[in-house]
Amino acid sequence: MADLAVQRGGAQRRPIEHVPALAPLVGDYEARRRSFTWEAARDWLRGDDEGHLNMAHEAVDRHAEGPLADTVAIRFLSRVAPTTELTYAQLREQSDVAATALRRLGVGPGDGVCTLLPRSPELYLTVLGTLKAGAVYCPLFPAFGPEPVVERLRLGHIRVLVTDTQSYVRKCEPHRDALPDLRHVLLTDVGDAEAPAGTTPWSVALGAGATAYDPSTFTVALTRADDPALLHFTSGTTGKPKGAVHVHEAILAHHVTAEFALDLRPGDVYWCTADPGWVTGTSYGILGPLSCGVTIVTDSADFDARRWYRILQDERVTVFYTAPTALRMLMRAGVGLAREHTFPALRHVVSVGEPLNPEAVVWGVDAFGLPVHDTWWQTETGAIMVSNFPGMPVRPGSMGRPVPGVVAAVLAQGPDGRAAVEGGRVRVLGPDEVGELALRPGWPSMFRAYVDDPERYAKAFADGWYLSGDLARIDADGYVWFIGRADDVIKSAGHLIGPFEVESALMEHPAVAEVGVIGKPDPLAGEIVKAFVTLKVGHEPSPALARELVAFGRHRLGSVAPREIAFDQALPHTRSGKVMRRLLRARELGLPEGDLSTVERPSAQGGEGES
Ligand code: ATP
Ligand code: MG
């Protein structure tokens, strides 16, 4: 695509400000659901009269031209270095420079640029600079080992990698021959003299960009709404990670959902604990919140409950977006620690990534004075699809209701647990019937491809629906209840058992911190339920406690309760914090463990980076 020139601040730009100010959703969900359409929203957003649209412009530049220019866009917290900040105006200029630097390296539309970095300014500038150059940004978890790094660089045909020396030397350099597409490696922590062969210091590349940069002539790439912008690999919970491609107009969904579901608005101080290595850390760690004009705080330290409460308190965080696994770690640290702090500014606590046990929702009230609101979405959906909206009564255990503009349904299952497609048709189920959760395509952040895998992409759709691979039911009021991933559901003595229900029930026992449940083959029942249990501090595994948990489960759940309990203080998680039930099952049954590229090492859970 030609990199056509539009002068900075050109009159033809019509930025997102044209989205009519959306009042908070309180009590207003139904009206908004009826009146909202993506088609109308697309009209608000169109970047210029010819339909060009660039994510980075929408997220940052338009604020830099308005009253938010001097507002802090990102505040970088660190355990080992002083806090630094970038205002919207600085972020615009520095990302222009990063784009100029990338262009000077020959990076252009469609090229892949990857980061393997902690949450540092270089990471954010690379994301925005890449988008402004019209290239495709692909994040990697900094804690990935060599194999997952090389695999993703290869699959994504990545042209530029931005990382630090240690990561490069350990994870990439030995495999450089296997990466013919990789032209440039930029290292953020070295000067010219020390850079290993085949690499360029980031400072040198950026310096060249700064020299060449002229704000009066700089142009953001005139990308089209449907041009690729982001490549995100899925978490690999159920198997080999897939590379989902998203396009520039996804920013519209990031923006609208950040406003609807996260309740973000200018003046907010917002903290998203997700690493930008997965989709939450990009959609809601960078693009959505910036498009709403908030101040993002970001922390590069490992999880530490006391530090997290301090940040929430001292930074006066208003909206906090995190994951069930992090909440469970906070719960393990005890509510007393939360009560040593106060959170008068905190307005909204939100969760994503895994089933949010009702226990955690209620605990939020104890710890923060607020229930935790759940949101459901996937790498493939690019943005939140179902949410317990602010102001809407929370039903603990439910993921909430579809985002305005999103049509969700539950489809009848076939024998493999996925939606049954007969003669190209599916059957939509009624209230409270369990089946595969499906969405009507058409929202802007829908993935447009699995990289190099068109067949798999085609299989994700049937009869005009996107098939999520998750099982759910939708109640008569439209609340969506998660049952489990289609692959994780247990079939026991004629019952279909969702692991979430069993795990949530066991979580109510005072000794239990976390649970992963699997089906174990059984000659009589087909499968029996086995639970792997992590205990809270102060509780020891014992046969007596195992018996007590079995009885506790039976009392709550009846016949679907676990028959076997194993204690495990280090349940396997993905790096995005999900319990890997497929791995528990494979280990239990002595089966091959499959793709392990995204397994988290237990000690690094919940955070990355500094030591
Ligand atoms: P892979 O597709 O590689 O197996 P993954 O599905 O875990 O990995 P992601 O796209 O990061 O990769 O995660 C999306 C999945 O996470 C959803 O399909 C769902 O199973 C789970 N999930 C996300 N949010 C929620 C939620 N609020 N409640 C229950 N499950 C959730
Ligand atoms: Mg998935």
CATH number at residue 459: 2.30.38.10
What is the 471 CA–ligand 2 centroid distance (Å)? 12
Based on the fold, state whether residues 475 and 568 are members of the same structural domain.
Answer: no
Based on the fold, state whether residues 480 and 578 are members of the same structural domain.
Answer: no
Would you call 136 helix, strand, or coil by DSSP?
Answer: strand
Tally of CB atoms within 10 A around 407: 13
Element (H, E) at 245: strand 243-247
CA quadruple 113, 116, 118, 122: dihedral sign: negative
Any ligand 1 atom below 6 A from CB of 376:
yes
More confident of the two residues 21 and 86 = 86
Based on the fold, state whether residues 465 and 530 are members of the same structural domain.
Answer: no
Based on the fold, state whether residues 481 and 547 are members of the same structural domain.
Answer: no
Based on the fold, state whether residues 512 and 580 are members of the same structural domain.
Answer: yes
- The DSSP code for 59 is I
Q: What is the pLDDT of residue 2?
A: 32
Residue 15's pLDDT band (cuts 50, 70, 90):
low
Q: Of 599, 436, 581, 435, which Cα lies nearest the Cα of 519? A: 581
* DSSP string over 213-264: --TTT------BTTSEEEEEE---SSSS--EEEEETTHHHHHHHHHHHTS--
Based on the fold, state whether residues 472 and 420 are members of the same structural domain.
Answer: yes
Q: What is the pLDDT of residue 3?
A: 34
Q: What is the pLDDT of residue 9?
A: 41
Query: Crossing angle, helix 38-45 and helix 250-260, to 10 degrees?
Result: 110
pLDDT over 90 at 575, yes or no: no
Q: Are 288 and 280 in contact (CB under 8 A)?
A: no
What is the 96 CA–ligand 1 centroid distance (Å)? 34
Any ligand 1 atom below 6 A from CB of 355:
yes
Any ligand 1 atom below 6 A from CB of 291:
no
Q: What is the pLDDT of residue 599?
A: 87
- Which residue's CA is the closest to the ligand 1 atom numbered 16? 353
Based on the fold, state whether residues 506 and 569 are members of the same structural domain.
Answer: yes
pLDDT over 90 at 92, yes or no: yes
Strands 348-351 and 295-299: unpaired
Residue 603's pLDDT band (cuts 50, 70, 90):
very low
* Closest approach atom of ligand 1 to CA 374: 27
Any ligand 1 atom below 6 A from CB of 126:
no
The edge-to-edge listing of strands for the beta sheet with 512-522 is: 512-522, 526-535, 564-567
Any ligand 1 atom below 6 A from CB of 354:
yes
Any ligand 1 atom below 6 A from CB of 234:
yes
Identify whether 36 is part of a domain. no
CA distance 242 to 105: 28
Identify whether 229 is part of a domain. no
Q: Are 182 and 153 in contact (CB under 8 A)?
A: yes
What is the 104 CA–ligand 2 centroid distance (Å)? 37
Write the CATH number for 560.
Answer: 3.30.300.30
Which of 60-69, 185-194, 195-204 shows the highest mean pLDDT?
A: 195-204
Q: Of 248, 246, 252, which Cα lies nearest the Cα of 40? A: 252
* Closest approach atom of ligand 1 to CA 578: 7
Residue 560's pLDDT band (cuts 50, 70, 90):
confident
Q: What is the pLDDT of residue 332?
A: 86
Element (H, E) at 401: strand 398-402
Q: What is the pLDDT of residue 14?
A: 55
Identify whether 154 is part of a domain. yes
What is the 381 CA–ligand 2 centroid distance (Å)? 10
CA distance 590 to 549: 25
Number of domains in the chain: 3
Q: What is the pLDDT of residue 7?
A: 40
Q: What is the pLDDT of residue 286?
A: 98
Identify whether 325 is part of a domain. no
What is the 238 CA–ligand 2 centroid distance (Å)? 7
Return the structure tokens found at 435: 């089946």
Residue 194's pLDDT band (cuts 50, 70, 90):
confident
Strands 112-116 and 136-139: parallel
Q: What is the mean pLDDT of residues 560-589?
A: 91
Element (H, E) at 495: strand 495-497
Any ligand 1 atom below 6 A from CB of 209:
no
Tens digits of per-residue pLDDT, 239-251? 778 999 999 999 9
Based on the fold, state whether residues 565 and 458 are members of the same structural domain.
Answer: no
CA distance 84 to 77: 7
Element (H, E) at 501: helix 499-507
CA quadruple 534, 535, 536, 537: dihedral sign: negative
* Closest approach atom of ligand 1 to CA 236: 3
Q: Are 471 and 489 in contact (CB under 8 A)?
A: yes
Would you call 52 helix, strand, or coil by DSSP?
Answer: strand
Q: What is the mean pLDDT of residues 358-374?
A: 93
Question: Which residues, listed in sequence order, are joined to residue 518 by a DSSP beta bridge?
Answer: 530
Q: What is the pLDDT of residue 539?
A: 94
Any ligand 1 atom below 6 A from CB of 320:
no
Element (H, E) at 400: strand 398-402
What is the 500 CA–ligand 1 centroid distance (Å)? 13
Return the structure tokens found at 106: 């020959």
Q: Are 345 and 318 in contact (CB under 8 A)?
A: yes
Q: Are 207 and 230 in contact (CB under 8 A)?
A: no
Least confident among 47-51, 148-152, 438-442: 47-51
Q: What is the pLDDT of residue 464?
A: 98
- Which residue's CA is the closest to the ligand 1 atom numbered 28? 355
Based on the fold, state whether residues 208 and 117 are members of the same structural domain.
Answer: yes
Write the CATH number for 129.
Answer: 3.40.50.980
Based on the fold, state whether residues 510 and 570 are members of the same structural domain.
Answer: yes
Label residue 382 left, alpha or beta by phi (over 0 means left) and psi (-120 to 50 means alpha). left
Helix/strand/coil percent split, the chain, to 5: 30, 25, 45
Return the structure tokens found at 314: 């001292």
pLDDT over 50 at 252, yes or no: yes
CA distance 548 to 330: 25
- What rounded mean pLDDT belongs to the chain? 90
C-alpha torsion 103→104→105→110, nearest 10: 20
Any ligand 1 atom below 6 A from CB of 235:
yes
Q: What is the pLDDT of residue 17?
A: 52
What is the 3 CA–ligand 2 centroid distance (Å)? 34
CA distance 182 to 185: 8
Identify whether 117 is part of a domain. yes
Return the structure tokens found at 490: 């247990």
Ligand with the closest atom to the CA of 238: 1
Choose one of 262, 283, 379 to mutate for the ligand 1 pocket test, by most ligand atoms within 8 angstroms of C-beta.
379
- Which residue's CA is the closest to the ligand 1 atom numbered 17? 378
Q: Are 189 and 165 in contact (CB under 8 A)?
A: yes
Choose one of 232, 257, 377 to mutate for the ligand 1 pocket test, by most ligand atoms within 8 angstroms of C-beta.
377
Tally of CB atoms within 10 A around 159: 23
Query: Crossing angle, helix 121-132 and helix 88-104, to 10 degrees?
Result: 70
Any ligand 1 atom below 6 A from CB of 321:
no
Ligand with the closest atom to the CA of 233: 1
Any ligand 1 atom below 6 A from CB of 501:
no
Based on the fold, state whether residues 163 and 186 are members of the same structural domain.
Answer: yes
Q: What is the mean pLDDT of residues 154-176?
A: 96
Contact partners, residue 175, CB within 8 Å, separation at least 6 = 146, 150
Any ligand 1 atom below 6 A from CB of 238:
yes
Convert 219-237 to b/e letters by CB count within 10 Å (16 or more is b): bbbbbbbebbbbbbbbbbb
Beta strand ranges found along 13-93 (DSSP E) = 72-77, 84-87
Tens digits of per-residue pLDDT, 424-474? 999 999 999 999 999 999 999 999 999 999 999 999 999 999 999 999 999
* Closest approach atom of ligand 1 to CA 279: 11
Can you give the C-alpha Rg of the chain in angstroms?
Answer: 24
Choose one of 237, 278, 399 to mutate for the ligand 1 pocket test, by most ligand atoms within 8 angstroms of C-beta.
237
Q: Which of 198, 224, 250 is the last residue of a domain?
A: 224
More confident of the two residues 602 and 136 = 136
Residue 47's pLDDT band (cuts 50, 70, 90):
low
Q: Could you list the residue range(s) of the whole structural domain that residue 205 is in?
A: 90-224
Identify whether 437 is part of a domain. yes
Q: What is the pLDDT of residue 497?
A: 85
Q: What is the pLDDT of residue 507?
A: 92
Identify whether 473 is part of a domain. yes
* Closest approach atom of ligand 1 to CA 233: 3
pLDDT over 90 at 197, yes or no: yes
Q: What is the mean pLDDT of residues 191-205?
A: 92
Q: What is the pLDDT of residue 82?
A: 95
- Which residue's CA is the closest to the ligand 1 atom numbered 30? 354
Tens digits of per-residue pLDDT, 260-318? 999 999 999 999 999 888 899 999 999 999 999 999 999 988 899 999 999 999 999 99
Identify whether 582 is part of a domain. yes
Query: With pLDDT > 90 as the criterion, what percentage of the chain qualifies?
Result: 72
What are the helix and strand counts (H, E) for the chain? 20, 27
What is the 341 CA–ligand 1 centroid distance (Å)? 32
Choose one of 151, 356, 470 to mutate for the ligand 1 pocket test, by most ligand atoms within 8 angstroms of C-beta.
470
pLDDT over 70 at 601, yes or no: no
Tens digits of per-residue pLDDT, 213-233? 999 999 999 999 999 999 999
pLDDT over 70 at 13, yes or no: no
- The DSSP code for 506 is H
Q: Which of 192, 224, 256 is the last residue of a domain?
A: 224
Based on the fold, state whether residues 471 and 501 are members of the same structural domain.
Answer: no
Choose one of 230, 234, 395 to mutate for the ligand 1 pocket test, by most ligand atoms within 8 angstroms of C-beta.
234
pLDDT over 70 at 354, yes or no: yes
Q: Which of 155, 190, 224 is the last residue of a domain?
A: 224
